[in-house]
Chains A and B, each alone.
Chain A
């Protein structure tokens, strides 16, 4: 389904389903009324409404969030900053970038996976 969603956007709209980039574009006030805002907003509304609509179709799978609010804030800041600096996230680099055999995306994906493995090791096993 992830592949289908990303493929639909590419085949019919010619765009990459890179969520961090789409979101970052829309939160800039100067972009709100620009030509590029419409497709991004539609895709993002679709994405967010998936969470709202799903409970009407089936029971939402349980989500357990172990992080405290402070950790969530730190993590959000890092994810936001890092995705801009690295020009992409798990969807743009990890799924779309690897699908089109981009070396940059491969380097990015390996980098965030490695950082993720090390961070998880430190938070779960090194204390």
Chain B
């Protein structure tokens, strides 16, 4: 039951990305192009997603247990760090260059897009690169 819901959660999230146009890099770049022909749809998609998820988090914050009465796993870090900012800035540059972020790229890979495949492979290398080199170099654990 829980496994089915987890699969469905991924499926619905993925379908949501397709329906809202997020798997089309041209739409992402259109949103980021505030100086040009700005397309605000991504902001609306995010606000829509947040306004539903907000209530789910309110429920969880009060009850501290899932609907199956199991513990909840939320990120514990609350401190701001330079890694958070620098990492997010680098992420934003890559996001704007291709018009892909991880979720839509994986969904696009599912449609059989070769270009999404190239992006996902590079993303995999980038993630490993961070976890192996950066973490080792600065001796920081994630």
Contacts and interface: CB of A to CB of B under 8 A. Distances in A.
A111 B14 contact: no
Nearest to B26: A64
A12 interface: yes
Nearest to B131: A84
27 contacts: A5-B10, A5-B16, A9-B9, A10-B66, A13-B5, A38-B3, A47-B107, A52-B111, A64-B26, A66-B99, A72-B100, A73-B119, A75-B97, A77-B125, A78-B126, A79-B126, A80-B122, A80-B124, A80-B125, A83-B127, A86-B85, A104-B75, A114-B92, A116-B92, A116-B96, A119-B96, A121-B35
Contacts of A10: 53, 56-57, 60, 66, 72
The 7 closest A-B pairs by CB, nearest first: A80-B126, A50-B14, A46-B10, A76-B122, A51-B110, A86-B87, A3-B52
B18 A27 contact: no
Contact of B119 (A64, A75, A96): A75
Interface in A20-70: 20, 23-24, 27-28, 38-39, 42-55, 60-67, 69
A99 B50 contact: yes
B107 A76 contact: no
A19 B126 contact: no
B80 A6 contact: no
Contacts of B102: 19-20, 23, 79, 83, 89-91
Nearest to B120: A76
B88 A45 contact: no
Contact of B103 (A67, A80, A90, A107): A90
B92 A112 contact: yes
B110 A48 contact: yes
Interface string B36-57: 1000000001101111111111
B142 A87 contact: yes
A27 B128 CA distance: 8
B136 interface: no
Nearest to B1: A12
